């Protein structure tokens, strides 16, 4: 092991703040991207479902129009 104690590991030779800040920002960015992707995917699927339902209603209305 390159460090003799856990506190030295956290300090990273005096650069610990910058190292752990970089890890934190990177982790938050990845988490944000995952959440954003899931949200957008749900939104797209909902839009597709609404479009299909609208098309079905239009077809049903056209079929009813011809029976009168």
Give the residue numbers spanning the domain of 34.
Answer: 6-67
Query: Is residue 40 situated within a structural domain?
Result: yes
Query: Is residue 11 situated within a structural domain?
Result: yes
Encoding tokens for residue 5? 């104690």
Query: Is residue 63 situated within a structural domain?
Result: yes
The string of pLDDT tens digits covering residues 19-40 is: 999 999 999 999 999 999 999 9
Please indicate whether residue 16 or residue 68 has the higher confidence score (pLDDT): 16
Count of domains observed in the chain? 1
Query: Is residue 54 situated within a structural domain?
Result: yes
User: The pTM is what?
Assistant: 0.69
Asked if residue 10 lies in contact with residue 16, where contact means CB atoms within 8 angstroms, the answer is yes
Query: Is residue 1 situated within a structural domain?
Result: no
């Amino acid at each position: 092991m390159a460090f003799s104690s856990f506190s030295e590991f956290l300090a990273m030779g005096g650069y610990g703040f910058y190292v752990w800040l970089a890890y934190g920002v990177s982790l938050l960015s990845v988490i944000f991207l995952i959440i954003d992707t899931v949200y957008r995917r749900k939104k797209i699927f909902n839009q597709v479902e609404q479009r299909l339902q609208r098309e079905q209603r239009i077809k049903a209305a056209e079929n009813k129009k011809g029976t009168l």
